[in-house]
């Protein structure tokens, strides 16, 4: 299976693959509405909403689209399976699941199977890949049922009554969340830090302090990284011309887009696409 440096759902309802995330280090991941990451071998440190989690073999991360998820470190042998689910399919999957499960997973996204659960996990991965790659007539229903079984198995093994309903986030955490949400919404047309600071009713300097505290990076670098991810997705998953990409992302011309991409990545647009 091919590794992908930037996981992406594209236009699919469900995307499966493997990645070592090496080229995504320090980049907020592009997630589906619901996403699963399973460590197949090696170790990784992943930050989810400013909290670091150590992923070891067979560990599972359950992530939502609005999670700020950054791969901080990976071992040389790290390899992970990912499953990205779009909003419509995720809504069908969630329909029969206990509501408290989602709050539990928001607070505790790391799941660690034990004993016979490990074999069940790998069997599930084999099954869902088989459904995605070979089944056609009833694929949608089979994928929905497979994902429901996965989440119900998690619900079966946790105490949903222990959910911390009193968890409070600091103002800085909330601002950081809002900043990342704004980047997701506006980075295709706005690359100026002042725009985001104004939206948050804070100064660019204060925004810089917050992002350095929680994300170890400047606001400008975070904006640029998201823009680069958008460009890469358009280059790899569409037939749009360079001019069309420049127009879509509000670059004044193709030369500026080319210089911007080369400065950020070290390679040309054509080299990346090919």
pLDDT 10s digits, 242-258: 999 999 999 999 999 99
What pLDDT shows up at residue 62? 97
Task: Tell me if 31 sits within 8 A of 63, measured CB to CB.
Answer: yes
Bridge partner list, 60: 38, 111
What pLDDT shows up at residue 2? 37
Question: In three state form, how does the secondary structure of the chain look?
Answer: CCECCCCCCCCCCEEEEEECCHHHCCCECCCCCEEEEEEEECCEEEEECCEEEEECCCCEEEEECCCCEEEEEECCCCEEEEEEECHHHHHHHHCCCCHHHHHHHHHCCEECCCCHHHHHHHHHHHHHHHHHHHCCCCHHHHHHHHHHHHHHHHHHCCCHHHCCCCCCCCHHHHHHHHHHHHHHHHCCCCCCHHHHHHHHCCCHHHHHHHHHHHHCCCHHHHHHHHHHHHHHHHHHHCCCCHHHHHHHCCCCCHHHHHHHHHHHHCCCHHHHHC
Query: CATH topology for 14-162?
Result: Jelly Rolls (2.60.120)
Q: 64 is written with which tokens? A: 């939502």
What pLDDT shows up at residue 168? 62
What pLDDT shows up at residue 263? 94
Please state whether the predicted TM-score (pTM) of the whole model is above 0.85.
no
Q: Where are the domains of the chain?
A: 14-162, 171-273
What residues of the chain score a pLDDT lower than 50? 1-5
What pLDDT shows up at residue 4? 42
What pLDDT shows up at residue 24? 82
What distance, in Å, lies between the first and last C-alpha atoms of the chain?
19
Instruction: Enumerate residues 6+ apart whose C-beta is below 8 A from 164.
Output: 107
Task: Tell me if 214 sits within 8 A of 48, measured CB to CB.
Answer: no
> Span 171-273: which CATH code?
1.10.10.60
């Amino acid at each position: 299976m091919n590794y992908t440096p930037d996981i992406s759902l594209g236009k699919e309802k469900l995307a499966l693959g493997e990645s070592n995330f090496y080229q995504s280090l320090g980049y907020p991941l592009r997630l589906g509405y619901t996403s699963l990451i399973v460590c197949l071998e090696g170790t990784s440190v992943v930050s989810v909403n400013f909290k670091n989690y150590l992923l070891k073999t067979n560990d599972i991360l359950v992530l939502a689209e609005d999670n700020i998820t950054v791969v901080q470190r990976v071992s040389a042998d790290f390899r992970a399976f990912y499953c990205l689910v779009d909003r419509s399919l995720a809504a069908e999957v969630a329909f029969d699941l206990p509501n408290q499960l989602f709050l539990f997973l928001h607070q505790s996204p790391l799941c660690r199977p034990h004993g016979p659960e490990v074999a069940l996990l790998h069997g599930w991965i084999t099954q869902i890949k088989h459904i995605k790659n070979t089944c056609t007539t009833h694929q949608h229903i089979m994928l929905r049922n497979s994902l429901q079984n996965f989440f119900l198995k998690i619900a079966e093994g946790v105490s949903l009554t222990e959910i911390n309903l009193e968890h409070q986030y600091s103002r800085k955490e909330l601002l950081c969340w809002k900043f990342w949400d704004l980047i997701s919404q506006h980075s295709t047309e706005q690359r100026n830090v002042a725009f985001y600071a104004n939206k948050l009713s804070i100064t660019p300097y204060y925004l810089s302090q917050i992002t350095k505290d929680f994300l170890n990076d400047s606001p400008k670098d975070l904006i640029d990284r998201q823009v680069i991810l958008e460009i890469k997705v358009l280059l790899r998953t569409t037939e749009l011309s360079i001019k069309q990409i420049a127009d879509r992302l509000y670059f004044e011309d193709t030369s500026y887009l080319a210089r911007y991409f080369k400065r950020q990545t070290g390679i040309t647009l054509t080299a990346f696409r090919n």
